[in-house]
Structure 1
Amino acid sequence: MSNLNSPSPAVVHRATWRDYLLAITACGATTVLTIPLHDWLELVNTVMLFLLVVVLVAARLGRGPAVLASFLSVGLFDFFYVPPRWSFAVSDAQYVLTFAVMLIVALIISHLTIGLRVRAQEAQQAAERSNALYALASQLAGALTIEQVCDATEHFAQRQLGAHARLLLPAHQDTEATPSHESLVPARPEQSPLERTITLLAQTAFQAPRNHGMQQVGDDGHLYAVLPLAGSTRSRGVLILSSHQSGARELDGHRSLLDALATLVATALERLHFVNVAHQAQLEMNDERLRGSILSALSHDIRTPLTSLFGLADTLTLMQPPLPEQAKEMAGAIRDQAMRLHRMVSNLLDMARLQTGQQAGQLPLRLEWQPIEEVIGASIQLLGHSLDDHPVKVHLDADLPLLSIDAVLMERVFGNLLENAAKYAPPHTEIHISASPEGSHMLISVRNEGTGFPADRLPNIFGVFERGAPESSIPGVGLGLSICRAIVWAHGGRIEALNPPTGGAEVRFMLPLGTPPTIEPEPESGTSPEGRS
């Protein structure tokens, strides 16, 4: 295993025996063409022709044939043109210097020509890859599904790297869970499973996306490159590239290209994720708006006949002369049920109003500094006979500070909590209310002695239309706790439901204390403001 951080290899032509044969043929052809012109050509011009052949061989055939052409040109020049001709003997020592300079110049020219050729090939290859990356970026920018991202990535890897590409994505892409707690699954489920070693490498790269990619030779002899897809907020998956055949060029020689490919794929996956999140948020917003409109319309249309029904039933119970006892009991039952239904409709209307205010970013509150004990007492009085079977025990710390609250809305919170506690508790059991300061907040608790909340429903107990027991015969529509949460949040507090170890169900919420105003003591009777009697 190694990191994909080596530089890009030079583009060097691998010479074959045909290239060497062509180099020999070129030198021989030059000799054949220049021998008849020996009497008219100066030796220096003949040297230039041989150097030209070396340049052409270097430009077309590569380094090895160019070196061979350099030595062969010097030998042919010595044998055919330098006196004494037709032998390798040298009559003048100056020709030795000529041969040395000719060989050195030929080698230097061949080296420079090959370097220029390599640079030109690299520039052409870089331009082709830039165009390919631009085309890939355009395809990924227009991709609407992960399937299209896979198609574009696989096509690019095949064309530019001669490799097969596979995408591994988090099992739950719609969450922002920690990568260490997530598993990877293939983007195309129909693909064959990977080797266990490659899968472990992919999981490691997913958990540490800022690290370099890794390469591994698999049991099948193929080279695998594992690239993390690091997004702006979290890792979006892993890209695995594998060579198709043994002896394929190593993928770690193209680090910059692989980095660009991983960045483009990660950006495309992150864009698809946020598009999906925005789409889901828009759908939820539309659902909430439609539901709020329906609730508001129904609540307004139902409250008027309910009020009339309650008034008529109450009038029947107070008629003079009084109705027969059985008829009076039936009228009282109609009145009580109408009142219960009126409370349900009021909850619906309140929930619609609260949701509308939250969506608009403003929930109007009439904040005043109030003692919490008065709000609790008013809520207990408001429920009246609903708490006859459940004595309420209030436990308050001494000298509780004032709270900046909307007393009407806070009474609604206590009313809903007390009503829920009474409905889900056995008859003749107590309901406990406590309040005490905790740091910069006041902790308030309402607890009953019932069976508690179902453990599996606790995370969603404050949701709209959520009930502790969905199939229960206890009346209600599941809005009471939702209203409590909305009101507490509007006051800058937080709320939670739990099952305490002592049994029963408990709802706790915390409200910020703030800094209450200073209350000046009233002057004693008979004393003037200046202290004179």
Structure 2
Amino acid sequence: MNEEDKTKEQLITELVELRKRIAEIEKSETQRNQTEEALREAEARYRGIFENAVEGIFQTTPDGYFLAINPALARMLGYGSPEELMAEVTDARQFFIDPNRRQEFIRLIQTNGIVIGFENQVRRKDGSTIWVSENVHALRDPRGRLVGYEGMAIDITESKRVERELLAEKEKLDSILKGIGAGLSLLDSEARLVWANDILQRWFGPIEELKGKLCHELYDLADPQKECSAFCTLRTGQIERGESFAEIIGGERRYFQLTTAPVKDDKGNIIQIVELTQDITERKQADEALLESEKRYRSLFEDSPISLWEEDFSDIKKYIDSLRASGVKDFRTYFNNHPEDVTNCAGMVKVINVNKATLELYKAKSKEELLVNLKKVFSDGSDEAFREELIVIAEGKPKFEIEAINQTLMSEKKHITLRWSMAPDYEASWSKVVVSVTDLTERMRAEEALRESEIKFRSITQSATDAIISADSDDNIISWNKSAQTIFDYTEEEALGKSLIMIIPERYRDAHKKGLERVNSTGETRIIGKTVELVGMRKDGSEFPLELSLSTWKTGKRRLYSAVIRDITKSKQANEKLKQTLTELGRSNKDLEQFAYAASHDLQEPLRTVSNFSQLLAKRYKGELDAKADQFIGFIVDGATRMQEMIENLLAYSRVSTRAKPFELTDCETVFDQALINVKMAIGESDALVTHDPLPTVMADASQMVQLFQNLLSNAIKFRKEKPRITVSAAQKGNEWLFSVKDNGIGIAPEFMEHIFKMFQREHASAEYPGTGVGLIICKKIVERHGGRIWVESQTGKGSTFYFTIPLRKGERERT
């Protein structure tokens, strides 16, 4: 009992004692003065407690009318003062909201004369409700007659709220523990077991026997201090994992994965450890089988531990296409009504290959023996499975899974899971379909449990930046994370228990309801496991684009759904802006290219006139004028000549786009030979030696490839310090061809490297090395048109190597 309770009990005791003393004083007139003084003292003490108590205190008549109320009770019920409350309310019982609770209170007080800890809801002045706990007892005179009631009321609204939240958390935890599908245990700070769920007890025994045991007492650990994840967690204070064999009840040895996480107090000390135990025996066996397979260098198909079939469904596709052309739309109804067509289609399937696991599964000595006995393998019950397979194929679904009964060549029944998928790049012809067949063993159960566990953990995460929402089969929201609140503006309290349609625009709600009904009744899904773009609706009714990834799972007969939702408003706007920018940029580039071509072409004629007449002046009047005049005329002739070269090069640059040809198979050997012919005179004059490695065949514009090689060879010959030595080579690097042109020329200064591929940029004067500085920019434009890159590596005085790439494209072949 705390101090406040002691004070309340002392108050009630003193009041009873006071009344006894008053009764005694009334019998003796001579003691009246003494009695009055004692009464004043007691009342003063009582009044101080009454007025200053934090609990509500009241007195009523036997009929429930208030006689006294302290300030705490008035505040609790929403009134400014006791006087205001007593003026507006006379019967204390009218505060009860539930009439049944009011009758129960009256019955208890009348029967027992006292009520302790009576909880009920009451209505405050403003109409709001609160929870209170009341302690009330009857007041009687010395003759035992009832004169009223006295009691206290405590506001327990907050504790009730906390109690509800704790109950909800407990129910949620209980649900997780029941459906977790793995062993869960609690260890103390010494790693001794103190609690275990039902699954762990089924493996290792009842909790009474497990309490106090250490990890190495359950699992096969050679060095517990190093191998026990619980001991590791105690050392590191972090989540740790480990694996080990263990013998479970019944003597079977299973392989387990253990994950331990610390539970710490406010000071960071580990007070408990949570341990998750998962049976991964089948997964471990599969891993070991795969490792063994890799050690023996078996191929993925031939040596797979799973039965694999490679089949040709092209004839079935033709048949289904003909049915569709004849007007068949509902293939489920059609094949249900035409079982003979199902049988005929089964005969159209061509088995191309099977692996060793298939022969073992069906007890066949060879592929030939299996293929000639397929009718025995696929018993009468297989028709139903094949009919479902046909329906899935006809509906255009790329994958299919079903359980069925097969038979081995030794007449043994096999309950199998068949998975069917179209091989990539064969969707149009159906000429290659991969079918896997597995037994429904403990491995399947273990994988299903693991998959369910992973889905649950992903669904309940609250740390994701995307909205994660879970709902049941009735479309009611059961989980709503913080990002969902941010995106849709509904709080978790507003969303839980509500229908998903509140975040779906009204025009899409009917389709949503029909889809949900279809999945719940048939299991048929269209967007499960895919990422789709939809439209969502916020609390204020505004709509926005979103990206949805939906998953589903079943717990018993109950189907649940989880959705990962991302608001893609900004990315949509950015993509739209990017499209507009690219369109405008393409239009601008095209206009610029046309302008450059037109301008260059139109400048040719007046420039030619200037050049011709300046040359005529130089020829006719040379020596007749003074020396300066001859020099000026020479400047005009040189300038016109250089301008004409620049315009011609500018035209050549624009023709890379304006006169481009479609890409076709181009033999680079032939292209390179033509480039050599074009620079034959320069090679002869410089006594250059040009060699090349074998060059490939690529998809390219042949004329532009000639120009590319010609420009690079011309550069290598022009910028020389000695007899030129030029080597051209090519090598395939991933999905592209890498070409190189290496020379022993003068090289490129480091400060000029960044300008080398810019228009009219030259490192040397034209008098020293003729040219306009356009050749390399043309090379760059040709390479970029082909989807490649071009760059140079060089050192001054040590030569240069120009590199460029041409991507591989369909139809190319390597030339050796």
Structure holding more strand per residue:
2
TM over 0.5: no
TM-score, with length taken from structure 2: 0.31
Structure holding more helix per residue:
1
Larger RCO (CA under 8 A, 6+ residues apart): 1
TM-score, with length taken from structure 1: 0.43
